[in-house]
Structure 1
Amino acid sequence: MNLRPMRPLLASLLGALATSALANEAPQPDPAATLNLTVENDLFGRTDKYYTSGFQLSWRSASADPPVWLAWMSELATPFFPPGGTPRWGLALGQNIYTPADTLARNPDLRDRPYAGWLYGAFTLISYTERTLGTFEVQFGVVGPAALGEQVQNNVHDLINVDRALGWKTQLKDEPGINVILNRQWRINQPLRADDPRGLALGLVPSLTVSLGNVQTYGSVGLMLRVGSNLQSDFGPPRIRPSHAGTAFFQPDGRWGWYVFAGVEGRAVARDIFLDGNTWRDSRRVDRIPFVGEGAIGAVLIMPWARLSYTHTFRGPEFRGQTRSAQYGSVSLSFRF
């Protein structure tokens, strides 16, 4: 593949990234809120193991006429949020389900990933400019039988006529959980034609994330490359953490748009309850790998009132003895109202 025609564009993107703070204006106030549903499942990768499924229903507020408390909290978080940013806030409800490779064994191999469910709510504060986004998120919920992982997975398997997972009696025990997540993303777009600044463009979205909590503690660095139109409408498609989460809201320019993307992310993991086991009680656990790599490809369709995306993720081994990398698909549908 000849990359020479891309070199000037990549050079322009990198130069824009280095000087992004010089032209970091706040976007126009947006009177529309966003409702987003993201569903993830490893059936898209023709597997049924490890991180096997997840869903998240999220809402993001409009940015026009923010309430007084939101403006106050945004000012309070100024050292983390970009200066002069536009604030939004949001709520979410989600669930993640994890299983070993052999779901037909009633007593799975002790060296395999434990069964676990994570049912949580989330509160999010966001401030963003044309080129920078800062996110503060608190997730709170429960790991264990109260997370209803067994009921959700096996009822869905019954519905689609797939064998039930039989080892749920060995799952992690009930434990309240909390994650505090800080995320910073940058958005650099370069039009492919100088005479058509609103047409096709090439974009980079670097990201930094830190998560602290008894559920997941990690730091990650990511980079996404995008090609398409209406790239200024979001910072990437929404996904479920710990993957690069993009933005649950989107702010299009009134036209239809699309883009394709590819991204990579590296995580340094200090704590993962789904591998390390319960914090204060004896439970199953495996030998966690401290550094995890992840790649993703996908496509996004942007409409004036809705956004549809698909992402296919390839995640490297997370524990010693994991014989193959995991892969899963994410489908996300967002509506503005």
Structure 2
Amino acid sequence: MNFKQFAFSVLLGIAALQSLAQVRTQEFGFQSDNDSFLAQGSDRYYTNGLFVFYRRGMDIKRIDKLVNKVLTIEVGQKIFNPQSGSITVNGQPNPAYIDRPFAGYLYAGGSLNLLYRNESNFKIGVQVGVIGPSAKGEQAQQVIHDTFGFYELSGWEYQIRNTPVINLSLDYNRLLARNEWIDLTASGMLNAGTAFNNIAVGPMVRLGNFNQLFNSYSTQSTATRNAIAPLHKKELFFYYKPMFNYIAYDATVQGALVNKKDDPTGMEVTGKPEPIMISHQIGVGFSGKRVNLGFEVAVHSKDVKTQRYNTHQWGSINVAYRFGK
């Protein structure tokens, strides 16, 4: 090796170290979902969700095909209503007004996201929790309504009864095509367990300044230890993700899947899911040196046969702070 080759190698090493030193390997953040974010005055179906998460880019012994590995730990709660959070008719609660069961879902979970140089990824996750009164859906919704001066709730006595949840999930993405400002990704998702059994497939289109799928807001992979140069120092892009969903079982609608017993109180109101559901996710994502920000509008066709309205929609806000080296 001559002097020029040696000097060039040293410069490349320094550049790589500087790039790695700028990488933030951990993230802490939250996501909030609510139909009131769309200012439509509705309060129905999937009406509120709150999730807190921690992500950490994991060490990879040899960066080859696998270029990023992200561990996520998360706790969250989802709240489901009928067409309104109050089913009072003529001064009395009327269960006939329940076109989608009341339900709360509280869980803790973790996932491992494996991201590859060819811009495909597998994310494997598990959630453990409870659906029913122990999920405190009524209490959480009451706090929201009291805080913001919303109407008085009624009808939670008819909610889905307690049922334990152990669920596994698998997410997959694969880049199909890209030019400078637009790309196309194939996406798929599978859930299996005691509460949620469904599969979904569809494309995702991104427009703007976006990075590779192994280091992007799109795949929750901005916490990283790799030193591969991103396409952009900052991401700012719009995306559209339509999905075709087949729903085999949903415990927030049907109640317990295992050890199903008659309700001794006679109060629980359950339903039947619509097996085919079409969803649309439209949003904007930003990823900077330390901060991720995102806003999304989700629109779903009816997922319960008895729903009065054919679609429901909500807004989602995502904020994360990246730190560490």
Indicate the SS of the match to 1:212.
strand
Q: Deviation at 1:285?
A: 1.3
CA distance in 2 between partners of 1:330 and 1:236 (Å): 18
C-alpha change, 1:86 and 1:250, in structure 2 (3 Å) is: closer
Deviations 1:284-313, CA, capped at 9 Å, x for gaps: 211211011001211112211111100001
Q: Deviation at 1:183?
A: 1.3
Q: Deviation at 1:58?
A: 1.1
- Alignment of 1:63 onto 2:53: no
2:36 is matched with which residue? 43
C-alpha change, 1:61 and 1:261, in structure 2 (3 Å) is: same
CA distance in 2 between partners of 1:258 and 1:112 (Å): 39
Q: Deviation at 1:333?
A: 0.6
- Contact conserved, 2:217 with 2:286, CA < 8 A, in 1? no
- Contact conserved, 1:183 with 1:209, CA < 8 A, in 2? yes
Matched ranges for 1:286-325 at <5 A:
286-324=271-309, 325=311
1:163 is matched with which residue? 151
Matched ranges for 1:1-337 at <5 A:
32-45=25-38, 46=40, 47-64=42-59, 84-105=66-87, 106-109=93-96, 112-130=99-117, 131-188=119-176, 190-192=178-180, 201-232=181-212, 246-247=219-220, 249=222, 253=230, 255-279=233-257, 280-281=260-261, 282=263, 283-324=268-309, 325-337=311-323
CA distance in 2 between partners of 1:275 and 1:60 (Å): 31
CA distance in 2 between partners of 1:220 and 1:65 (Å): 30
C-alpha change, 1:233 and 1:288, in structure 2 (3 Å) is: closer
CA distance in 2 between partners of 1:93 and 1:141 (Å): 9
CA distance in 2 between partners of 1:304 and 1:122 (Å): 27
Q: Deviation at 1:55?
A: 1.2
- Contact conserved, 1:44 with 1:328, CA < 8 A, in 2? yes
C-alpha change, 1:185 and 1:97, in structure 2 (3 Å) is: same
Q: Percent identity?
A: 23
CA distance in 2 between partners of 1:265 and 1:297 (Å): 11
Deviations 1:23-64, CA, capped at 9 Å, x for gaps: xxxxx8955112121100011232100000101111111234
What is the aligned-residue RMSD (CA, Å)?
Answer: 2.5
Aligned AA (2:78): N
1:243 is matched with which residue? none
Count of residue correspondences: 282
- Contact conserved, 1:122 with 1:137, CA < 8 A, in 2? yes
Q: Deviation at 1:83?
A: 5.4
Q: Deviation at 1:336?
A: 0.9
Q: Deviation at 1:213?
A: 1.0
Q: Which runs of 5+ in 2 are unaligned?
A: 1-19, 88-92
- Contact conserved, 2:116 with 2:214, CA < 8 A, in 1? no
CA distance in 2 between partners of 1:298 and 1:56 (Å): 18
- Contact conserved, 2:83 with 2:98, CA < 8 A, in 1? no
CA distance in 2 between partners of 1:235 and 1:167 (Å): 45
- Contact conserved, 1:89 with 1:126, CA < 8 A, in 2? yes
CA distance in 2 between partners of 1:273 and 1:328 (Å): 21
CA distance in 2 between partners of 1:299 and 1:31 (Å): 22
Q: Based on CA coordinates, which of the two structures has the bigger radius of gyration?
A: 2
Indicate the SS of the match to 2:96.
coil
Q: Deviation at 1:189?
A: 5.7
CA distance in 1 between partners of 2:254 and 2:97 (Å): 12
User: As a proportion of its length, which structure holds more strand?
Assistant: 2
TM-score, L = length of structure 2: 0.79
C-alpha change, 1:53 and 1:122, in structure 2 (3 Å) is: same
Deviations 1:113-132, CA, capped at 9 Å, x for gaps: 11100000001111102401
**More deviation, 95-104/113-122:** 95-104
